[in-house]
Chains A and B, each alone.
Chain A
Amino acid sequence: MEILERLLSASERVYRWLVGVYPKEFRSENGQEMVQAFRDRCREELSRGRISGVIGLWGHTVLDFAVTVSIEHMKKGKSMNTVDKDLRWDVRYGFEMLFKHGLILLKYSAWASGLLLSLLLVALLVGLLASTLAVRHKEKPLNEAWKRTSGTLPMRLFNL
């Protein structure tokens, strides 16, 4: 029971901090009630003894926060009109889709970085193999060619 109470007060503290990110006018008008509404919902979930419910509530609340905080900052002091409504739903839709398809995004990112890493490894391996499989004494053919044309070795030319 004590753990649930702690969870409730910790959740409330974090949410109160999140409310502080809203524009000043908005939070002074609604901040207290928003925290109260969040606490009531949290308490409702905990009264059912469902910690998973609180986790779900947090997921929903973070999404709600991300969408609405940006909207409230963009439209300080404006009333509802068509452009605002469209923007609101566009932003919400964008976040929801991102949230919904987050795993797919993660999958493709992992796939792309895996592919990149494999290519890099193959390139390194080929480089290593090529360096060992190529002519063992790289200077030998050059020396012989030099000797054929000038009759002396280049080392001798430079007093080496």
Chain B
Amino acid sequence: MKKAKRDPESLLPLPISVFHILLALADGELHGYGIMKEVAVRTEGKVRLGPGTLYGSIKRLVADGLIEKSDERPDPALDDERRRYYRLTDFGQRVTIAETKRLAHLVGMARARKLLTGLKLSENNR
């Protein structure tokens, strides 16, 4: 309860691996390997989380109240019962939104300086 009242901005900027984990969990509960796969698919294989990075980040995200362990299982018959599922908490959702806004603001600034079109032009000139 105490963590829910915290300011999401206090945790920003998030490390990129943490942001990817939160994004993967934005669509619903996933287990560790599911998060790894989701991140790899979303980034077209450019970001691959190793088990150490993943579970180190998960441990701290749980400690900071951004995600929590889930007791529900999407389909117990199809799944290994030893797997633990994780989901975003309300505070985690607010932190994810705050980080997304921060990044969107940065991209907006880059766009205002015509950096995106500039990059496009220089690529076309090659």
A residues with a Cβ closer than 8 A to B are 22, 26, 29-30, 32-38, 40-41, 60-61, 63-65, 67-69, 71-72, 79-80, 84-85, 88-89
Q: Judging by beta carbons under 8 Å apart, are A26 and B59 in contact?
A: yes
Query: How far is the CB of A58 from the nearest CB of chain B, in Å?
Result: 11
B residues with a Cβ closer than 8 A to A are 11, 15, 18, 31-33, 36, 48, 50-56, 58-61, 63-64, 80, 82-84
Query: How far is the CB of B110 from the nearest CB of chain A, in Å?
Result: 22
**For residue B53, which residues in chain A have a CB less than 8 angstroms away from its CB?**
64, 67-68
**For residue A84, which residues in chain B have a CB less than 8 angstroms away from its CB?**
60
Closest to B56 in A: A68
Q: Judging by beta carbons under 8 Å apart, are B33 and A41 in contact?
A: yes
Q: Once A and B bind, how many residue pairs between them come within 8 Å at the CB atom?
A: 71
For chain A, what secondary structure do more than half of its interface residues adopt (helix, strand, loop), or is it mixed? helix
Question: How many angstroms between the C-alpha atoms of A60 and B50 in the bound complex?
Answer: 7
Query: How far is the CB of A52 from the nearest CB of chain B, in Å?
Result: 15
New A-B contacts (20) at CB < 8 Å, excluding given A61-B51, A65-B52:
A30-B55, A33-B83, A34-B32, A34-B51, A35-B51, A36-B33, A37-B55, A41-B33, A60-B50, A61-B50, A64-B53, A67-B52, A68-B50, A72-B52, A79-B60, A80-B64, A84-B60, A85-B15, A88-B15, A89-B15
